[in-house]
Chains A and B, each alone.
Chain A
Amino acid sequence: MSAAFVTFDDVSLAYDASGNAIEDINLSIHEGEFVAFVGPSGCGKSTFMKLCTGLHAPTTGAIKVDNEPVTGPLKISGMAFQNANLLPWRTTLDNVLLPLEIVKPYRHQFRKRREEFIGWARKLLKTVGLEGYEDQYPWQLSGGMQQRASICRALIHQPRLLMLDEPFGALDAFTREELWCVLRDLWEAQRFTVVLVTHDLREAAFLADTVYIMSRRPGRVIERRQIELPRPRALETTYQKPFIDLVQELRAQIGEVRST
Chain B
Amino acid sequence: MTKHNPLIERLAPWIAVVALVIIWEVTVRVFDVPSFIFPSALETAQALVTYSGPIAMHSWQTFWTTLIGFGLGVAVGLVLGFIIGSSRFLYNACYPLLVGFNAIPKVAFVPILVVWFGIGSVPAILTAFLICFFPIVVNVATGLATLEPEMEDVLRVLGARRMDVLLKVGLPRSLPYFFASLKVAITLAFVGTVVSETVASNQGIGYLMMSAGSQMRMGLVFAGLLVISAMAMVMYELFAQLEKRMTGWAHRGQNR
Contacts and interface: CB of A to CB of B under 8 A. Distances in A.
B157 A101 contact: no
A79 B164 CA distance: 17
Contact of A79 (B153, B168, B252): B153
B160 A102 contact: yes
A148 to B, nearest CB: 16
Contact of B252 (A80, A102, A139, A153): A139
Interface in A80-106: 80-81, 83, 85, 87-89, 98-99, 101-104
Contacts of A101: 168
B104 interface: no
Contacts of B157: 53-55, 73-75, 77-79, 163
A157 interface: yes
B253 to A, nearest CB: 8
How extensive is the interface on chain A, given as a class? 20 to 34
Nearest to A56: B153
Contacts of A73: 156-159
A79 B154 contact: yes
A105 to B, nearest CB: 11
A102 B168 contact: yes
Given A89-B172, A102-B164, A137-B249, A75 B150 contact: no
A87 B171 CA distance: 12
Interface string B227-251: 0000000000000000000010110
Nearest to B252: A139
A87 B164 contact: no
Interface residues of B, number: 22
A75 B154 CA distance: 10
A55 B249 contact: no
A89 B164 CA distance: 16
Interface in B130-174: 148, 150-151, 153-160, 164, 168-169, 172-173
Contact of A102 (B151, B159, B173, B175): B159
A6 to B, nearest CB: 14
B158 A99 contact: yes
Interface string B189-215: 000000000000000000000000000
Nearest to B253: A139
Interface string B22-35: 00000000000000
A83 B150 contact: yes
A55 B168 contact: no
Contacts of A55: 153, 156-157
A137 B168 CA distance: 16
B148 A87 contact: no
Kindly name the residue among B155, B159, B164, B249 whose own CB sees the greatest number of chain A CB atoms within 10 A.
B159
Interface string A100-123: 011110000000000000000000
B249 A102 contact: no
Contact of B249 (A50, A78, A89, A163): A89
A246 to B, nearest CB: 31
Contacts of B153: 50, 53, 55, 79, 81
Kindly name the residue among B150, B151, B164 whose own CB sees the greatest number of chain A CB atoms within 10 A.
B150
A75 B250 contact: no
A131 to B, nearest CB: 23
Given A73-B159, A98-B168, A102-B160, A85 B154 contact: yes
Interface in A38-54: 50, 53-54
Nearest to A150: B154
B252 A85 contact: no
A101 B169 CA distance: 12
Given A88-B250, A89-B249, A137-B249, A102 B158 contact: yes
Contacts of A98: 155, 168
Interface of A: 50, 53-55, 73-75, 77-81, 83, 85, 87-89, 98-99, 101-104, 137, 139, 153-154, 157, 163
User: Closest 3 interchain pairs by CB?
Assistant: A103-B158, A81-B150, A89-B249
7 contacts: A78-B157, A81-B150, A83-B148, A98-B168, A102-B155, A102-B168, A103-B159
